[in-house]
Structure 1
Amino acid sequence: MKKKIILEGLDCANCAAKIENDINKLTGVESASINLMTTKLTIEAEDDKMQDVIETARKIVNKYEPDVIFKTA
């Protein structure tokens, strides 16, 4: 399953790389990538783990960028 998430207000390339790296380490995640120009996070993960992955991804984003708004598309 593939999910796109908008990270409104993300403008730090270093933070985006850290977020992407941490999400890619999560159990069930096949791939995660951030397009800094569009501020979109794309996560590919196992269907049964997607909800947990999204919740954990939200926490990871808040850890590095507390002012970024996490919007599931």
Structure 2
Amino acid sequence: MKKIIKLEGLCCANCAAKIEEEVKKLDGVESASISFMTQRMTMEVQDGKTDEILEAAKKISNKIEPEAEFKVLR
């Protein structure tokens, strides 16, 4: 299942890369990429694990870039 998340307030491409790297390690994430320019993260996640993965990704984002707002677009 494809998920698109808006990460408003990312301060640098390095933070985006760190978030992407950590999200890719989550169980159930098939792929993940963040575009610093659009401040969007696109993930392919296993069905049935979506809520769990989104919550874990939000925690990762808050840990690395606490000022960024995490909004699920679709």
TM-score tier by shorter-chain length is over 0.9
Q: What stretches of structure 1 move > 3 A for 4+ residues in a row?
A: none
Partner of 1:11: 11
Residue equivalent to 2:52? 52
Name the structure where helix makes up a greater proportion of residues: 1
Instruction: Report what 2:40 is aligned to.
Output: 40
Gaps of 5+ in 1: none
Distance 1:11 1:44 in 2: 24
Alignment partners' CA distance in 1, 2:60 and 2:49: 16
Aligned residues: 73
Post-superposition offset of 1:11: 2.9
Output the TM-score relative to the length of structure 1: 0.96
Query: Considering only aligned residues, what root-mean-square deviation do their CA atoms show, in Å?
Result: 0.6
Q: CA deviation at 1:50?
A: 1.1
